[in-house]
């Protein structure tokens, strides 16, 4: 007879782990107990086969569990113990985590589609294998009393399921049914009818409201774009399944895996050129952001469109319904989550506002990924992934980092892990600043950690400075591109010295300049700038990011072709030409502005309606990138692409964008190879928002591998500013430790 005390750490609460322990113990004929506590799951098992327990527990773990450690130690035997029991949760300091929201599982979908089941067409069914978690949880331990479901007393049937270890709803904290759970404000049939009639619907989902319309109706799409003041920014769409989505997009096996995963992100896919879809969905782009249903409410819309079939066979069949599903955040403010707020703020956009009485505790937008270099990479990390921890190379002190100005996130460290908040957005209004504070405080509450240091971007006008001051902690400012590079190294567990190529739109440099195309050496918590892209003038400062023609004018000035500026861009460019000639313009090494210059020189885009539009439109035209011989110059470690830009003056857009992407990648590879040889390093981190450009990222990564170097692209955090807080946290924690 043997007794073991077994500690399981990781995401092991709210994922059916205790009933899993109970079933394993029963199968092995063991007695003992299991409970949730602040450290995760704690079990004691006793019996002749106790030695098999740990391996079986790990091998057969529930799909949503993320085990980081299992620790087993001998314990004193208990005489006369007759059964294995599940105990109530115990308190204490939290060292576990709540899981992300998860897509509705097949078992729940089967119940939803069975007229004989008491949850037939119920919009809020879930079990331990699926449903909301992060968005309904106030604090740990993850028990019903600490979630938005605390206001819904269980009916006898749900109470029986909740208490039965053999039931898949055992301690499923959001458990609900029509008799005792949340209810929708409108009938599903009425919602679908409104969409099919061309109306716009605001629908409350898992982490907030979506704005929906019929994606195949050009008038509806244009109306939504106008009412939301969306400019040309692309919309995401929702289809029932891959067979439906393949009508409009091309989908690889890896992309299908991302679409069908329990996280259900938006996946950026190649549009079929013959697809009969409104151009207004994604103007000027050859890609479409597409997601599959994530919650029962989404599935019910498609079920209604399929005429309410019995059974689940319809889930794999093509469905004609295609919906725009865009975040309900008017005016660039945070996602709307409150019912009354939705009626007030979305009433001028939506024709119908559909709510329900389950509160969204914390707002959480949809995640967005793109397949780059054979793996899904984040453009935005939020629902489905937050607050999944990122493992660090070693234990570090607890710190909090608050990211930058664009695509802001918070990040907290605890032990040997870092946890990113959900995507917050651009810190250009009071509401979004408030949301950053909410996200940071909620993250710290879920982790039960008290930071010893707070880090943020070096920019002297960092908008969240008041939040930092309220925290009353020592403060570390981190240079923007240093943070980008450190984020990549942190998630890959690299602690040795390494090189980094960081390409983005703007970051405040250590010298006060506008950086954005940087070659760095990182060593511990320190960095050194080895080189940069040849600076171009930045006429109008931030205005140049919104008006790419200004960067084209700067490029023409650098070539000595000032006479072409007004000829190309009209009388509006005369004052800019004058400023350039007088030398009264700041400089930037930004790679993002290099994209803008190329877009305007090629006639692809002169004025942007959203961040990165020029780069996105350029990439949409790139089919076969190829390098221009002599298209770049390397002066020490200053990389100059002026010869390339000069060639683009006379190119057709298709030819020019292929030359631009191919030459840019080849020049950057040569740059990194030269630095690796001089610094005797072989690891190159690739960070910054320009690396969400697939042609560039794959060209650089592939070229570095061919040269025998080790390129690292971000995998668990966004390459853009959404990953800054991770890098800041790693630098701050490394320095504090």
* pLDDT score recorded for residue 273: 85
Q: What is the DSSP letter of 102?
A: B
- pLDDT tens per residue across span 570-593: 999 999 999 999 998 999 999 999
Residue 45 φ then ψ, to 5°: -130, 145
Contact status, residue 6 vs residue 44, Cβ threshold 8 Å: yes
User: How far is the CA of 711 from the CAs of 173, 502, 726, 728, in angstroms?
Assistant: 43, 12, 19, 21
pLDDT over 60 at 634, yes or no? yes
User: How far is the CA of 300 from the CAs of 108, 131, 187, 250, 264, in angstroms?
Assistant: 12, 15, 10, 26, 16
Which residues 6+ apart lie within 8 Å of 344 measured at CB?
A: none
* pLDDT score recorded for residue 1: 65
* pLDDT score recorded for residue 415: 92
Residue 36 φ then ψ, to 5°: -80, 145
Domains of the chain: 2-86 (3.30.70.100), 188-369 (3.90.870.10), 387-492+718-736 (3.30.420.360), 500-712 (3.30.420.40)
Residue 216: which of 268, 162, 280 has the closest Cα?
280
Which residues 6+ apart lie within 8 Å of 341 measured at CB?
A: none
Residues 521-533 have a mean pLDDT of 96
Residues 472-489 have a mean pLDDT of 97
* pLDDT score recorded for residue 139: 84
- pLDDT tens per residue across span 594-625: 999 999 999 999 999 999 999 999 999 999 99
Contact status, residue 233 vs residue 284, Cβ threshold 8 Å: no
Task: Say which range, 139-143, 380-384, 547-551, has the weakest mean pLDDT.
Answer: 139-143
pLDDT over 80 at 265, yes or no? yes
SS3 194: helix
**CA 487 to CA 717: how far, in whole Å?**
8
Q: What is the DSSP letter of 356?
A: B
Assessment of whether the complete model's pTM goes beyond 0.85? yes
Give kind and range of the element (H or E) at residue 564: helix 563-569
pLDDT over 90 at 404, yes or no? yes
Contact status, residue 113 vs residue 170, Cβ threshold 8 Å: no
Name the average pLDDT for the chain.
95
DSSP states of 637-670: TEEE-HHHHHHHTT--HHHHHHHHHHHHHHHHHH
Contact status, residue 355 vs residue 342, Cβ threshold 8 Å: yes
Q: Which residue reads 């989505």 in tokens?
A: 245
Which residues 6+ apart lie within 8 Å of 60 measured at CB?
A: 20, 24
**CA 407 to CA 421: how far, in whole Å?**
11
DSSP states of 378-394: EEE--TTTTT-EEEEEE
DSSP bridge partners of 400:
412, 454
Residue 265: which of 382, 169, 161 has the closest Cα?
382
**CA 238 to CA 325: how far, in whole Å?**
6
Q: What percent of the chain has pLDDT over 90?
A: 89
- pLDDT tens per residue across span 438-475: 999 999 998 889 999 999 999 999 998 889 989 999 99
DSSP states of 680-695: T--EEEEESGGGG-HH
**CA 641 to CA 701: how far, in whole Å?**
19
Contact status, residue 428 vs residue 332, Cβ threshold 8 Å: yes
**CA 233 to CA 689: how far, in whole Å?**
17
DSSP bridge partners of 425:
408
**CA 398 to CA 542: how far, in whole Å?**
35
pLDDT over 70 at 281, yes or no? yes
Residue 618: which of 286, 280, 378 has the closest Cα?
286
User: How far is the CA of 22 from the CAs of 27, 79, 108, 249, in angstroms?
Assistant: 9, 20, 22, 45
End-to-end CA distance of the chain: 45
**CA 550 to CA 539: how far, in whole Å?**
6
**CA 278 to CA 666: how far, in whole Å?**
36
Retrieve residue 313's tokens.
């066979």
DSSP bridge partners of 418:
390, 413
Contact status, residue 709 vs residue 676, Cβ threshold 8 Å: yes
Residue 276: which of 307, 243, 233, 320 has the closest Cα?
320
pLDDT over 80 at 14, yes or no? no
Q: What is the DSSP letter of 48?
A: T
Residue 392 φ then ψ, to 5°: -105, 165
DSSP bridge partners of 634:
639
pLDDT over 60 at 221, yes or no? yes
Q: Which residue has the higher pLDDT, 158 or 96?
A: 158
Kindly indicate the confidence band of residue 95, based on its pLDDT and cuts at 50, 70 and 90: low
Residue 390: which of 737, 736, 730, 41 has the closest Cα?
730
Task: Give alpha helix (H) positions in 164-291.
Answer: 188-196, 218-228, 242-245, 253-260
Give kind and range of the element (H or E) at residue 466: helix 465-471
* pLDDT score recorded for residue 700: 98
**Which sign does the torsion angle of CA 179, 180, 181, 183 carry?**
positive
* pLDDT score recorded for residue 38: 80
**CA 666 to CA 660: how far, in whole Å?**
10
Residues 531-558 have a mean pLDDT of 96
Kindly indicate the confidence band of residue 168, based on its pLDDT and cuts at 50, 70 and 90: very high
Give kind and range of the element (H or E) at residue 268: strand 266-271
SS3 457: strand
Q: Which residue has the higher pLDDT, 600 or 96?
A: 600
pLDDT over 90 at 392, yes or no? yes
Kindly indicate the confidence band of residue 736, based on its pLDDT and cuts at 50, 70 and 90: low
pLDDT over 60 at 737, yes or no? no
Angle at Cα 373 formed by Cα 372 and Cα 375, nearest 5°?
Answer: 70
**CA 377 to CA 520: how far, in whole Å?**
22
**CA 210 to CA 625: how far, in whole Å?**
37
Q: What is the DSSP letter of 94?
A: -
């Amino acid at each position: 007879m043997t007794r073991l005390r077994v500690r399981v750490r990781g995401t092991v609460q709210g994922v059916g782990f205790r009933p899993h322990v109970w079933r394993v113990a029963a199968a092995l004929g063991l007695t003992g107990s299991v409970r949730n506590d602040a450290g995760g799951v704690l079990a004691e098992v006793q019996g002749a086969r106790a030695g098999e327990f740990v391996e079986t527990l790990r091998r057969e773990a529930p799909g949503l569990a993320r085990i980081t450690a299992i620790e087993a130690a001998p314990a004193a035997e208990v005489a006369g113990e007759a059964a294995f029991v599940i105990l109530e949760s115990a308190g204490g300091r939290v060292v576990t985590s709540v899981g992300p929201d998860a897509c509705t599982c097949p078992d729940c979908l089967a119940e939803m589609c069975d007229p004989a089941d008491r949850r037939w067409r119920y919009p809020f069914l879930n079990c331990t294998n699926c449903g909301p978690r992060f968005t309904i949880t106030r604090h740990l331990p993850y028990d019903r009393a600490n979630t938005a479901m605390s206001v819904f007393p269980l009916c006898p049937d749900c109470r029986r399921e909740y208490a039965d270890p053999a039931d898949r709803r055992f301690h499923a904290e959001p458990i609900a049914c029509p008799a005792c759970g949340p209810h929708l404000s409108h009938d599903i049939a009425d919602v679908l009818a409104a969409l099919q009639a061309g109306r716009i619907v605001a629908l409350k989902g898992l982490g907030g409201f979506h704005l929906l319309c019929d994606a195949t109706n050009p008038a509806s799409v244009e109306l939504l774009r106008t009412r939301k003041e969306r400019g040309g920014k692309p919309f995401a769409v929702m289809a029932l399944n891959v067979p439906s989505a393949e009508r409009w997009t091309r989908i690889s096996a890896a992309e299908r895996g991302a679409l069908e995963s329990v996280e259900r992100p938006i996946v950026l896919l190649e549009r079929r050129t013959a697809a009969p879809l409104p151009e207004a969905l994604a103007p000027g782009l050859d890609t479409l952001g597409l997601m599959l249903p994530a919650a029962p409410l989404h599935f019910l819309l498609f079920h209604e469109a399929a005429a309410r079939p019995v059974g689940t066979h319809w889930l794999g069949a093509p469905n004609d319904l295609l919906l725009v599903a865009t975040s309900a955040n008017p005016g660039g403010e945070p996602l709307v989550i409150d019912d009354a707020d939705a009626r007030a703020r979305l009433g001028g956009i939506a024709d119908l506002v559909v709510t329900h009485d389950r509160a969204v505790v914390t707002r959480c937008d949809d995640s967005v990924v793109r397949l780059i270099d054979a793996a899904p990479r984040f453009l935005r990390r939020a629902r489905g992934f937050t607050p999944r921890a990122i493992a660090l190379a070693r234990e570090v002190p607890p710190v909090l980092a608050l990211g930058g100005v664009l695509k802001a996130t918070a990040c907290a460290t605890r032990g040997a892990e870092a946890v990113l908040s959900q995507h917050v957005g651009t810190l250009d209004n009071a509401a979004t600043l408030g949301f950053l504070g909410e996200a940071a405080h909620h993250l710290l509450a879920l982790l039960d950690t008290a930071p010893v240091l707070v880090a943020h971007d070096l920019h002297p006008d960092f908008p969240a400075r008041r939040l930092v001051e309220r925290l009353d902690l020592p403060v570390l400012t981190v240079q923007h591109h240093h943070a980008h590079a450190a984020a990549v190294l942190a998630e890959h567990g690299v602690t040795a010295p390494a090189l980094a190529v960081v390409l983005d739109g703007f970051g405040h440099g250590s010298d006060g300049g506008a950086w954005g195309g940087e070659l760095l050496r990182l060593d511990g918590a320190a960095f050194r700038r080895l080189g940069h892209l040849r600076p171009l003038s930045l006429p109008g400062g931030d205005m140049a990011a919104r008006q790419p023609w200004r960067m084209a004018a700067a490029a023409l000035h650098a070539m000595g072709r000032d006479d072409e500026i007004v000829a190309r861009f009209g009388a509006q460019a005369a004052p800019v030409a004058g400023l350039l000639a007088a030398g009264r313009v700041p400089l930037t090494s930004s790679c993002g502005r290099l994209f803008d210059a190329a877009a305007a020189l090629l006639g692809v885009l002169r004025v942007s309606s959203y961040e990165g539009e020029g780069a996105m439109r350029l990439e949409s035209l790139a089919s076969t990138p190829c390098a221009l011989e002599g298209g770049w110059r390397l002066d020490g470690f200053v990389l100059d692409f002026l010869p390339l830009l000069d060639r683009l003056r006379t190119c057709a857009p298709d030819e020019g964008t292929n030359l631009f992407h191919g030459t840019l990648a080849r020049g950057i590879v040569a740059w990194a190879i030269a630095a690796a040889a001089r610094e005797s390093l072989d690891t190159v981190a690739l960070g910054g928002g320009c690396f969400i450009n697939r042609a560039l990222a794959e060209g650089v990564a592939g070229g570095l591998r061919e040269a025998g170097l080790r390129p690292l692209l971000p995998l668990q955090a966004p390459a853009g500013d959404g990953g800054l807080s991770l890098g800041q946290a790693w630098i701050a924690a490394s320095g504090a430790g």
